[in-house]
């Protein structure tokens, strides 16, 4: 499966993102990484909690994987986890997990030195919206992802949430799932939140992470 890649040239702390659509993939590759930047990975829709399964995620360039946290959708048994690698080496990185997940996402960001917060929530059998919020530190990078499942032909997610910038989207519902990613650079400690709307009255899960 060929991942979708989105890259922006700007002075902001977002560099690029990669998304692998649902299909039980066990790895994701992000290319052209700048030395010293931070890689942030999301494992979406896994059937076990990646963050407590020893050290299941590896980096082909031997970066040190640290976990931001995980969220458990108890109604479906799915897990949504986030990990990060500070001080990445330049070039291509293949992130590998020992078990399959619904989908993967990875971001490359710059100008951060510490993990701040992680949170997640679900939307069950309701036609939107799904909202997540946290209070980030001053000068933070916020990354958000949402995965919607249901097997319906009209699945879609609003793009992007108000106040956030689009990073990637897979709105092809042929396999019964859609995915969406976004980011935001904030210079204040006010509560940051987003709200996605799904279109199919099924269920969606979303996570939000911040770095400073």
Average per-residue pLDDT for the chain: 78
Residue-number span of the structural domain to which 12 is assigned: 4-211
Q: In what order do the strands lie in the sheet with 66-73?
A: 4-7, 14-20, 103-109, 38-46, 78-85, 66-73
pLDDT tens, 159-208? 777 788 989 887 765 556 778 889 988 877 777 777 777 666 567 788 88
Angstrom distance (rounded) from CA 126 to CA 23: 24
Query: Structure pTM?
Result: 0.85
Number of domains in the chain: 1
Q: Could you give the 3-state DSSP secondary structure of residue 183?
A: strand
């Amino acid at each position: 499966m060929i991942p979708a890649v989105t890259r922006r040239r700007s002075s902001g702390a977002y560099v690029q993102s990669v998304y692998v659509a649902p299909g039980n993939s066990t790895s994701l590759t992000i290319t052209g990484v700048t030395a010293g930047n931070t890689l942030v990975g999301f494992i979406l829709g896994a059937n076990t909690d990646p963050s407590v399964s020893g050290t299941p995620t590896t980096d082909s360039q031997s970066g040190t994987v640290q976990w931001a946290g995980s969220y458990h959708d108890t109604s479906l048994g799915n897990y949504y986890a986030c990990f990060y690698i500070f001080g990445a080496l330049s070039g291509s990185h293949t992130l590998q997990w020992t078990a399959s997940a619904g989908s993967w996402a990875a971001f490359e960001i710059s100008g951060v030195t510490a993990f701040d917060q992680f949170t997640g929530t679900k939307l069950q059998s309701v036609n939107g919206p799904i909202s997540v919020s946290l209070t980030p530190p001053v000068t933070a990078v916020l990354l958000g992802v949402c995965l919607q499942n249901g097997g319906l032909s009209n699945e879609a997610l609003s793009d992007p949430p108000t106040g956030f910038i689009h990073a990637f989207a897979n709105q092809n519902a042929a396999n019964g799932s859609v995915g969406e990613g976004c980011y935001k650079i904030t210079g204040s400690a006010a509560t940051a939140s987003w709200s996605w709307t799904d279109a199919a009255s099924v269920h969606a899960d979303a996570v939000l992470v911040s770095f400073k």
